[in-house]
Amino acid sequence: MIEIYRYRQQYDLALQAIEEVMELQSRRDPVIYIIRGHFHRDVGRLEKSLQDFDKALELVPWLESIRADRCLALALVGNAEEGLRDCDRAIDKGPPTAANFLNRGAVYLRLNRPDEAAADFERAFDVDPDDPEALYARGVGRRLKGDTARGDADIASAKALAPKVGRRLETMGIK
């Protein structure tokens, strides 16, 4: 149900449902904090998003994928250098995922390092060429490097696969 609310952009209902699940699970499930952290980020509640990722890391500090989410949250609240360290650690210690490279690419954009952002968007696509977000981000990366025609083609293809693909990426700063 929570994902349905997210798809419909009914974020308040989604957050209410998450709170209900948290009460049932005594607030000890890190996955719930991760999910809520994503919702808070999507609606611009960046400090709350960071708090949720911090809490999830407190519960399971060895789960590097949480660092990949936290790295972006740090960058969005203005601490991109610390965020980059979390991104690097998540990529170095965890399995390569498109999400990790998308997050680090977004952090590089915050740091005004477009070449590195474009390289990470390309890596995200290489890891998961079936992911519309990775395809969209590769298009953004190609635009950053001056290849507007191929960038526009990637973005159009991503939107054909998933018409709302750009929404979440834009909240991350990938546009």
At 70-79, the pLDDT tens digits run 999 999 999 9
Residues 76 and 55 grouped into a single domain: no
Is residue 131 within 8 Å of 156, Cβ to Cβ?
no
Last-in-domain residue among 60, 80, 97: 60
Neighbours of 48 (CB within 10 A): 17
Last-in-domain residue among 29, 60, 91: 60
Residues 48 and 125 grouped into a single domain: no
Predicted confidence at residue 1, as pLDDT, reads: 67
Rounded to an integer, the average pLDDT of 120-134 is 96
- Give the model's confidence band at 57: pLDDT under 50 very low, under 70 low, under 90 confident, else very high: very high
Residues 53 and 84 grouped into a single domain: no
Last-in-domain residue among 60, 76, 100: 60
- Between CA 32 and CA 166 the distance in angstroms is 24
Percent of the chain with pLDDT over 90: 68
Residues 148 and 66 grouped into a single domain: yes
16: domain CATH number?
Answer: 1.25.40.10
Rounded to an integer, the average pLDDT of 107-117 is 95
Predicted confidence at residue 145, as pLDDT, reads: 94
Domain limits at 123?
A: 62-175
Residues 88 and 151 grouped into a single domain: yes
What's the total number of domains in the chain?
A: 2
Residues 53 and 66 grouped into a single domain: no
Residues 54 and 66 grouped into a single domain: no
Rounded to an integer, the average pLDDT of 14-35 is 78
pTM: 0.84
- Between CA 44 and CA 41 the distance in angstroms is 5
Cα within 13 Å of Cα(101), Cβ side? 24
Residues 122 and 162 grouped into a single domain: yes
- Between CA 118 and CA 113 the distance in angstroms is 9
Residues 56 and 83 grouped into a single domain: no
3-state secondary structure of 35: helix
pLDDT at 10 over 90: no
Long-range pairs, 2-10, Cβ under 8 A, ≥24: 2/35, 6/39, 6/42
pLDDT at 26 over 70: no
